[in-house]
Chain A
């Protein structure tokens, strides 16, 4: 065993200097009772930083190009809008990558909001509420059901998200009755499916959904 003459202690392992006073050691080195320290994790969130950097770079280049090639249209604003939307979607997707169903729910919200913003800022044609909201709602509900079956996830893990999604899927009924819809079929199909899902969950999974609500909302 190693020995530090100044601290008057025995030292375990194969240290070069005394862990206490950093002084010289005498004696025979043995195997250390601790393995080597791992490399510090600087690489954390590298993907997020890469995506953010690429987004910023695209914005700068498109602004510069817009200024160089004179045109009457500020087309770079559309590029920026697209980049920002993609960046937010990707960031949310990456940070919730380990929670599949939370992720799907958030993506649904993001897609709906962005679609409406784009629609409004490009002379409202109504495609966001006619198609995007009902279709994305249906897709997310369907993907939750399929994914949970494939990955054999127990009901209590995803039911609350499915319910949120289905409740959200009923809202297009408001658009229908206020008469803002141009095309009614996607919205009506979405509302029908959502209502059926809600009642299916209530009849067959009522107990577990109540239990989940008690857990999540306990005071």
Chain B
């Protein structure tokens, strides 16, 4: 097809995903776009097909080689499904499963995608193109032949390239300081093995204003609020442990790349309540410091080289896949144990102005073994989506009350099943 390559290696960050994963930790994340009108499913399938034509790399399957997993181009028919209420369920089952699924429900179009194939930035470009094609087909009377183009300018090989290798450079590694002992949320797991999604929707400008009042960026402010929320749920005896928040960062901004594969790094912010005060402004100051240290270009580049260097070592390369799976599983567990939770801010989503008129908001959710918060904004709608494997909702409650107590207005959505059984008298939204 179009002279594109038939198979490709997994990029550096993707290599961990097929070997790991569990019941709720499916390595799947969801991006959704809420339109202003009900979705017409009959137009969604042609829109998806048109999108795959320009992103052939997304139509692939994951196969096992003797030494590594790899992606192979496959001519599979991709269907569109109606949502079931479960978020970020299992996608990759075996070498015949497609690696993403497109759902619709009322006004919403949701894309669930396997992390080995792409990261948030890549998936967002893909979903935006689907929405673009959908609006073009479904609302052709408005757009006609003339249509503003999406800001996607990359060849197939650019989209398919591994940017970790591109920015890899052999270097000596400084010994890193020992990470603090991370606190882990102590709650019972849900019995049904599905993720509980609780989303808060606020006004972007309102949250930004409050963040500015605290001299903080949006992400720092939300991270600090999350630390404060976890603090309230923490038993006294765990106070010596730190609350550690991992924050994935999109490396494309600092290391130019048009790849739709994975290209993210990880920085972390930690706070120890036995050493520091509960004061919110002190949490903000410490988090700001941790951010600027983590976002330093040199330390990010060192991390890329360290991880990529590991995968290039000869003894790692010749180890059979079965062995790698075991080692990667343990490594992932060790890595997870160093963080309390993950906060992923995808940032501002943009659409061409004429299309944006038909879009209400964008949202993002991710699978997790414990709890994760994902954030994204579209115009004046800021979406904060918690996914949790736990039964309890105390941290989510603390977090959102942390915001409302500062005068931020919120709308809460959830997939929990505490719903009215008789639907009579339920007004149409």
CA distance A40 to B428 in the complex (A): 28
* Among A7, A34, A37, contact of B413 (Cβ-Cβ < 8 Å): A34
Q: Which B-chain residue is minimally distant from A100 (CB atoms)?
A: B96
The answer to whether A192 has its CB under 8 Å from any CB of chain B is no
Known contacts A215-B7, A216-B66: A36-B419 contact under CB 8 Å: yes
Number of interface residues of A (CB under 8 A): 38
CA distance A17 to B416 in the complex (A): 10
Q: Which residues of chain A are near B85, meaning CB under 8 Å?
A: 34-38
Known contacts A31-B426, A31-B429: A37-B417 contact under CB 8 Å: yes
Q: Which residues of chain B are near A38, meaning CB under 8 Å?
A: 84-86
Q: Which residues of chain B are near A1, meaning CB under 8 Å?
A: 411
Q: Which residues of chain A are near B108, meaning CB under 8 Å?
A: 33
The answer to whether B143 has its CB under 8 Å from any CB of chain A is no
The answer to whether B152 has its CB under 8 Å from any CB of chain A is no
The interface stretch among B181-189, B288-296, B394-402 is: B394-402
Known: A29-B425, A216-B65. 17 other contacts (CB 8 A): A7-B404, A9-B400, A10-B411, A11-B412, A14-B426, A16-B419, A20-B397, A29-B427, A30-B428, A30-B429, A35-B85, A36-B85, A37-B86, A215-B7, A215-B63, A216-B66, A217-B65
Top 10 A-B pairs, shortest CB-CB distance: A19-B414, A40-B192, A20-B397, A30-B429, A34-B415, A37-B85, A12-B413, A9-B410, A14-B420, A216-B65
CA distance A5 to B26 in the complex (A): 36
Q: Are A36 and B417 in contact (CB under 8 A)?
A: yes
Q: Which A-chain residue is minimally distant from B397 (CB atoms)?
A: A20
Q: Are A28 and B198 in contact (CB under 8 A)?
A: no
The answer to whether B9 has its CB under 8 Å from any CB of chain A is yes
Q: Are A10 and B412 in contact (CB under 8 A)?
A: yes
The answer to whether A8 has its CB under 8 Å from any CB of chain B is yes
A183 to chain B, nearest CB (A): 37
Interface flags, A90-124, vs B, CB<8A=1, else 0: 00000000110000000000000000000000000
The answer to whether B155 has its CB under 8 Å from any CB of chain A is no
* Among A15, A22, A98, contact of B94 (Cβ-Cβ < 8 Å): A98
Q: Which residues of chain A are near B409, meaning CB under 8 Å?
A: 10
Q: Are A219 and B318 in contact (CB under 8 A)?
A: yes
A11 to chain B, nearest CB (A): 5
The answer to whether B67 has its CB under 8 Å from any CB of chain A is yes
The answer to whether B6 has its CB under 8 Å from any CB of chain A is yes
* Among B63, B67, B397, B418, contact of A219 (Cβ-Cβ < 8 Å): B67
Q: Which A-chain residue is minimally distant from B108 (CB atoms)?
A: A33
Q: Which residues of chain B are near A11, meaning CB under 8 Å?
A: 411-413
Q: Which residues of chain B are near A7, meaning CB under 8 Å?
A: 397, 400-401, 404, 412
* Among A15, A29, A31, A40, contact of B414 (Cβ-Cβ < 8 Å): A15
Q: Are A14 and B6 in contact (CB under 8 A)?
A: no
Q: Are A15 and B418 in contact (CB under 8 A)?
A: yes
The answer to whether B390 has its CB under 8 Å from any CB of chain A is no
Q: Which residues of chain A are near B193, meaning CB under 8 Å?
A: 40
B335 to chain A, nearest CB (A): 24
Q: Which residues of chain A are near B205, meaning CB under 8 Å?
A: none
CA distance A98 to B429 in the complex (A): 43
CA distance A46 to B411 in the complex (A): 41
CA distance A157 to B337 in the complex (A): 40
B297 to chain A, nearest CB (A): 31
CA distance A219 to B65 in the complex (A): 9
B-contacting residues of A (Cβ < 8 Å)?
1, 4, 7-22, 28-38, 40, 98-99, 211, 215-219
The answer to whether B317 has its CB under 8 Å from any CB of chain A is yes
CA distance A37 to B416 in the complex (A): 7
Total inter-chain residue pairs, C-beta < 8 Å: 137
CA distance A133 to B218 in the complex (A): 69
Q: Which residues of chain B are near A22, meaning CB under 8 Å?
A: 393, 418
Interface flags, B161-195, vs A, CB<8A=1, else 0: 00000000000000000000000000000011110
CA distance A149 to B412 in the complex (A): 54
The residue in A14, A34, A37, A98 that gathers the most chain B C-beta atoms within 10 A of its C-beta is A34
CA distance A126 to B275 in the complex (A): 78
User: Which residues from 291 to 345 on chain B have a C-beta closer than 8 Å to any C-beta of chain A?
Assistant: 317-318
Q: Which residues of chain B are near A30, meaning CB under 8 Å?
A: 426-429
Q: Which residues of chain A are near B63, meaning CB under 8 Å?
A: 215-216
Q: Which A-chain residue is minimally distant from B103 (CB atoms)?
A: A35
CA distance A35 to B86 in the complex (A): 9
Q: Which A-chain residue is minimally distant from B89 (CB atoms)?
A: A38
Q: Which B-chain residue is minimally distant from A11 (CB atoms)?
A: B412
CA distance A36 to B105 in the complex (A): 12
The answer to whether B215 has its CB under 8 Å from any CB of chain A is no
Q: Are A20 and B404 in contact (CB under 8 A)?
A: no
Q: Are A19 and B412 in contact (CB under 8 A)?
A: yes
User: Which residues from 84 to 124 on chain B have a C-beta closer than 8 Å to any C-beta of chain A?
Assistant: 84-86, 94-96, 105-106, 108
Q: Which B-chain residue is minimally distant from A35 (CB atoms)?
A: B85
Q: Which residues of chain A are near B84, meaning CB under 8 Å?
A: 35, 37-38
Q: Are A218 and B198 in contact (CB under 8 A)?
A: no
9 contacts across the A-B interface (CB closer than 8 A):
A9-B411, A19-B198, A28-B427, A34-B197, A35-B84, A37-B85, A37-B194, A37-B417, A216-B66
CA distance A9 to B106 in the complex (A): 23
Known contacts A14-B420, A40-B194, A219-B318: A98-B410 contact under CB 8 Å: no
Q: Which residues of chain B are near A12, meaning CB under 8 Å?
A: 411-413, 429
CA distance A216 to B415 in the complex (A): 41
* Among A8, A16, A99, A211, contact of B6 (Cβ-Cβ < 8 Å): A211
